Amino acid sequence: MPVFAPVAADVSFPEEEQRVLKLWHIFYDGPPFATGLPHYGHIVASTLKDIVPRYWTMRGFRVERRFGWDTHGLPIEMDVEKKLGLAGPSSIRAYGVDRFNEECRAGVLRYVGEWRKTITRVGRWVDFDNDYKTMDLAFMESCWWVFKQLWDTGLVYQGLRVMPYSWRLSTPLSNFEAGLDYRDVDDPALTVRMLLDGTDNEHLLVWTTTPWTLPSNLAVAVGLDITYVKARAEKDDGHVYWVAQDLAAAVLGNGHEVLDTQPGRALVGRGYRPLFSFFADRKSQRAFRVIESAHVTTTDGTGLVHMAPAFGEDDFSACKKAGIDVVDPVDDEGNFKPVVAPYAGRNVKDADRDIMRDLKAQGSVFKQATLKHPYPYCWRSGTPLIYKTTPSWYVKSESLREKMVEANSSVHWVPDFVGEARFHNWLKEARDWSISRSRFWGTPIPMWQSDDGDVHCVGSVAELQALTGAAITDVHPHRIDHLTFTKDGKTYRRVKDVFDCWFESGAMPYAQMHYPFEHKSVFEGAFPAQFIAEGLDQTRGWFYTLVVLGTALFGQSPFKNVVVNGLVLAKGHYKNKDEYVPHEFVQERGGKAIDKRDGAELRVVTEKMSKSKKNYTAPESVIDTFGADALRAYLINSPVVRAEPLRFEDEGVREVVRTVLLPLHNALSFFVSYANVDGWDPAVELPTAPPLAERPELDRWLASVLQSLVGEINTQMEGYYLYKVVPPMLGFIDDLTNWYIRRSRRRFWRSADTDEARRDKASAYATLYEVLTTFSKVLAPVMPFSAESMYQRLVREPGAAHLHGGHDSVHLCDYPLVDASRIDRDVEAAMAAVRQTVVLGRALREKHKLKTRQPLARVTVVTSDARLRALLSAQRSLVADELNVKDVVVVKDDAALCTLSFKANFKTLGKKLGPKMKAAAAAIEQLDRAAWATLESGESVTIEGEAIVREDVLVTRTAHGDVVLETAGDLTVALDTQLTEALVDEGLARELTSRLQQARKDSGCALTDRVEVTL
């Protein structure tokens, strides 16, 4: 039987990966759970979270890989609302909170199958048995403990503030959540007039883009030091208006007539007639007058700002300072209350049109327009947010700013700019964090309150059991909200809010281990975490909440290293003025996209991936077509791992198959095929193979570049620079396939009929086997399927199974560390010089249409570097063979090959020489070879009193006779293109050999088949 299992020529990488998955089956057991289907963003994060643990496990560390999910909060509540035909808190209460929450409990398991399939298929190893859920009693109890620590240290308070508010979800959002979904929208831009008290036609002009807040207007704000004018409009309508002087022309027209000029402080205190009568009784309570506010500007509007303290943070603060109380005619679901009778029951945004109509009817509208501007939307429900005065529980993040900044300074961010700039700045300006939500399915805020306002914070299940006398197995709101207790003669009932799920995310390091109730010593020995990874948007989400709680509880960041990925976007669409253009009509021309049909230039529109738009290929389809390794390598070798956006293209994954997987597969196939022909058995042959120092230079070079790769990969992985890992791996695959194997083919198929041939063949087999098995381990964290497949064929499978030293899986092996004894820098430098020479020579052949199979008489290699000349001289035969030439000449200068001409490099000399430039340029054109040699040696020459160096001079080489040449840096390669009759005949013979080999392949001949040729 063959020593190694044969490798198919036509490989299906997805099928090969399925074979590996069957082998890995022992490592998987139990499903995860989720509330949505996995997408490319999840795959990026999962790949990052798989690569790092694989690497450090192979380095000998124990890495716990627990799967965990957020199971509370708005995503599952919205799913259940939709399923049950409900819409908002009122309908949920009518349905029954207990029934609703139990539906949520069951619903979080909805996508188990899809998650298990995708996470497994992408190659991520994770512990599903020992997972954690935020809805577990242990997790929720630790969240209570975290909150109790904050409460006991004075870091929690309940306050009434204006918050971003989702009327669809009937709950406030954190400030950072409000910034997650901004959209360009067209809003009404309304300018209204308010009649000043004691006048007949003197009005304040006020501008707003939220007409729905005008029924709640209680004041108008001015800037104390802003100059205001009383004026008639250019188109006089019989009224007089107060506007900021800087905006008068824009508002009233260039021909407006100024009647008076006053600073804002002169207007403060003046009363005006309310636009609506709903709250007219507040006029006796200091409302409906001009107040001052520092936030007033003259960048837009009129310079006078409408103030509705229930719906604006600045409004709230300024009115509070002026002694004006809040009125809020909007209910929790964003509808007007009965107090605003004409609009009662209407959604505030829907009521804009009716409010503007009524204001017009009463003559209060000065101007109506439309404004396109960015507006925040609820990132959960996709509905417009409003800002609304809401009671909420807050963590005093502002008091932790300096400590959080200090904690962050010890964190290693990749890329560093995210932590040092973006995240640092966010922490430096942190606002108090709203951690409560007016919802149902979540961890309840553990605060019990008496009728007179006293509160008691509960920090554990045991404490609540002791207070209430009840046996507690579940602390979800519907299971404990009926529990009360008496203390000091007062009855305490729980407040109705639940935690924002971001609070649970921030508490995850403690709650996943049920700290401090269990595993206390284990936790303290593992805190802070060595590594986390998530997307860029989490700088204002998970990363932030982790640092807030870690700083508050332990005075440090709960993580040491963090890798931040960017967004995965859909492939760009091409668009003309009116519509999208199908890709088949697009042509790239001069770096621009052109419509083939009319020649019009197109613009590229990049979008987020959207299931509804179907603007991307589903992940499972990409994996089924190209394989998970190809997808992983494409993502990790992309801008997304540098926290930059990636325009995902299927073609990019296909290119990984072509340039990485297929060459690597062909290398394995090459080795296995010849090893089976010769019966080369590593168990028998490796112990007797020549030591590396006695093997040919090509073997020592490959072993050396592999060790250099091992050193580079370890350096980058230890620094978590994953985006620097794939390029050197790709470079090594090129070294292996396009140089070593191609240069070594004859060594494998030649007859071993002499001691020298046998020794050379043994060296080649030993080197290639050692390199392939080592490289499978190097590759393992990034491309686990390909690595496993290589390792199994070379070490574990029949008949390789007799290598008893092998582990069950490549991922259970030790990760390779550098063996300095196998690194030979001189050999690497020599081979690098040869390869650069060959690259330039082949470029010359292609440029001048000289077939590779056509022998040429001579190549001349020119370099002023003495060491490089020595290296190349020692490798003449290799260069000759690669470039198919009869002779290789290595010289110091190119005087015999070409004529040199020189010009000034205006880019480098322009600023240096100024008015001397013209004369210097003329002098540079007169330089000779001696001066050029001086410049090439790194010295300078003096022209017009200035030191001129190498980069200041542009050189052009004009070849002599039949010579063609190419230059790169200090290396020039020249080919003699003159063909003799003998050279032409030899070229034809090589062409014939190539055709015969192709015919062998096309006819399906095996490697060992003998063929008979008649010419």
Active-site residue, from 413, 542, 680, 932: 542
Tokens representing 440 are 């149902």
User: DSSP labels for 937-984?
Assistant: TT--EEETTEEE-GGGEEEEEEE-TTEEEEEETTEEEEEE----HHHH
- The yes-or-no answer on residue 611 being catalytic is yes
511-534 burial, b if ≥16 CB within 10 A, otherwise e? bbbbbeeeeeeebeeebbbebbbb
Q: Closest by alpha carbon to 789, among 677, 664, 950?
A: 664
- Sign of the Cα torsion 34, 40, 41, 42 reads positive
Tally the C-alpha atoms within 13 A of residue 446's C-alpha that lie toward its C-beta.
25
Active-site residue, from 32, 53, 56, 70: 70
Contacts of 746 (CB under 8 A, 6+ apart): none
Q: What is the distance between the alpha carbons of residues 97 and 46, in angstroms, rounded to a whole number?
A: 35
In three-state secondary structure terms, 209 is coil
Bridge partners for 413 per DSSP: 562
Active-site residue, from 164, 242, 500, 538: 538
Q: Are 104 and 165 in contact (CB under 8 A)?
A: no
Active-site residue, from 83, 360, 611, 1001: 611
- The yes-or-no answer on residue 530 being catalytic is no
Q: What is the distance between the alpha carbons of residues 659 and 637, in angstroms, rounded to a whole number?
A: 13
- The yes-or-no answer on residue 490 being catalytic is no
Q: What is the distance between the alpha carbons of residues 828 and 820, in angstroms, rounded to a whole number?
A: 14
Query: Rounded to the nearest 10 degrees, how much is the dihedral formed by the CA atoms of 801, 802, 808, 811?
Result: -90
- Sign of the Cα torsion 142, 147, 151, 153 reads positive
Identify how many contiguous H helices and E strands the chain contains and give both numbers.
Answer: 38, 39
- Rounded to the nearest angstrom, the gap between the alpha carbon of residue 574 and the centroid of all alpha carbons in its chain is 23
Residue 451: how many CB atoms within 10 A of its CB? Answer: 9
- Sign of the Cα torsion 95, 98, 102, 104 reads positive
Q: Closest by alpha carbon to 172, among 390, 423, 467, 355?
A: 390
Cα-flanking dihedrals φ and ψ of residue 448, to 5°? -110, 135
Burial of 852 (0-12, 13-18, 19+ CB in 10 A): middle
- The yes-or-no answer on residue 538 being catalytic is yes
Active-site residue, from 320, 608, 613, 912: 608
- The yes-or-no answer on residue 354 being catalytic is no
Q: What angle do CA 529, 530, 534 make, to 5 degrees?
A: 80
398-425 burial, b if ≥16 CB within 10 A, otherwise e? eebeebbbebbeebebbbeebbeebbbe
Active-site residue, from 31, 53, 528, 558: 31
Q: Closest by alpha carbon to 303, among 227, 385, 413?
A: 227
Q: What is the distance between the alpha carbons of residues 678 and 692, in angstroms, rounded to a whole number?
A: 21
Q: What is the distance between the alpha carbons of residues 177 and 169, in angstroms, rounded to a whole number?
A: 14
Q: Closest by alpha carbon to 144, among 448, 392, 548?
A: 448
User: DSSP labels for 527-561?
Assistant: -SEEEEEEEGGGGGTHHHHHHHHHHHHHSS-SEEE
Contacts of 435 (CB under 8 A, 6+ apart): 392, 393, 394, 395, 499, 500, 502, 503
- Give the pairing type, strands 580-581 and 963-968: unpaired
- The single-letter code of the amino acid at 860 is T
As a residue count, the chain comes to 1015
Q: Return left, alpha or beta for 860; rule: phi > 0 is left, psi -120 to 50 is alpha, else beta.
A: beta
Active-site residue, from 207, 433, 502, 932: 502
- Give the pairing type, strands 529-535 and 559-565: parallel
Q: Which helix (H) or strand (E) holds 491?
A: strand 490-494
Burial of 562 (0-12, 13-18, 19+ CB in 10 A): buried
**Which residues carry out catalysis?**
31, 70, 502, 538, 542, 608, 611
